[in-house]
Amino acid sequence: MDFTLDFAAGCIGGAAGVLVGHPFDTVKVRLQVQSVDRPLYRGTYHCFQSIVRQESMTGLYKGIGSPMMGLTFINAIVFGVQGNAMRRLGHDTPLNQFLAGASAGALQSIICCPMELAKTRMQLQGLGERKSKQKLYKNSLDCLVRIYRKEGFCGINRGMVTTLVRETPGFGIYFLTYDVLTRHLGCEPDDPYMILKLLFAGGMSGIASWISTYPVDVIKSRLQADGVGGHNKYNGIADCMRQSMKREGWRVFTRGLTSTLLRAFPVNATTFATVTLFLMYMRNDEGGITDCEPLPAHSSLTASPQQAQPSSL
């Protein structure tokens, strides 16, 4: 029963996070992959404004089907791996939270990579057009099928190495930050400011995770977007880094960071608040634990509220 509740809570919380954060993610991807020779956007606000004006509000939600489809599998992996890792480690310490989170991040990359590949390709489709005259992909699933037919198994896993490098430490830092903040803030169920504390802890955890891994995400986005125009510019990770640095300098690794951090706080705050309140409500009906503090490692619960992480942070 606990696994079912965690599974349902993760899906609901993750969906809420995607709905809140996907427009910011679209802006981030557009800024990351635009050409330095002929940039379409001057910054985060100009990019957001241009998408709405040229493609309407629906342009901000291009590619949302892919992350929505992957939420169920990703959250199941994260919850299961995190809970089992904490039980095997035996002690609920910040270090163990990092290790358990890192292992969860590494395994969920298997689904996260193809999902983000489809999302990126969909977000770049019909760039600057209110209504695309000729759509290459009908939806996220069609996108993956077409990529597989053209490039095979390696094609749909383009960017897997950079995804692993990003997600493994990223989730470790995410779990660690949330654990430290919730312990320090002491968000008890009877605390009138509990929801605000949950929102703050979740939001700051997302920001900390993204800042620590953002340069890797830039390279991942460029590799996954490579070939959209009909030709490939990069031969691999090292070549992508070399060309990006040569043409745009070190600032290339911060391109789109503003929109990412603007997205990270509300997405993770929304996800944590939704998941935690759902679990507290359901477990309160069953007479279970309702405290939102981190649970002991030997707890019989599969996943505590702190384990409800969205896959894309």
**pLDDT, tens only, 253-262:** 998 898 889 8
3-state class (DSSP) for residue 42: coil
- The boundaries of the domain holding residue 199 are 157-254
111 lies in the same domain as 162: no
CA triplet 211, 213, 217: central angle to 5 degrees?
110
pLDDT digits (tens, 9 = 90+) for 119-151: 888 888 876 565 556 677 888 888 899 999 988
Using 50, 70 and 90 to split pLDDT, how confident is the model at 209? very high
List of residues 6+ apart from 241 with CB closer than 8 A? 219
**Residue at 24 is within a domain:** yes
**Residue at 262 is within a domain:** no
21 lies in the same domain as 152: yes
150 lies in the same domain as 9: yes
9 lies in the same domain as 148: yes
151 lies in the same domain as 178: no
Q: What is the pLDDT of residue 20?
A: 86
Q: How many independent structural domains does the chain possess?
A: 2
pTM greater than 0.85: no
pLDDT digits (tens, 9 = 90+) for 241-281: 999 999 889 989 998 898 889 889 998 898 778 877 887 88
**Residue at 276 is within a domain:** no
Mean pLDDT of all residues in the chain? 81
Enter the tokens of residue 109: 């990359």
Using 50, 70 and 90 to split pLDDT, how confident is the model at 303? very low
33 lies in the same domain as 61: yes
**Residue at 8 is within a domain:** yes
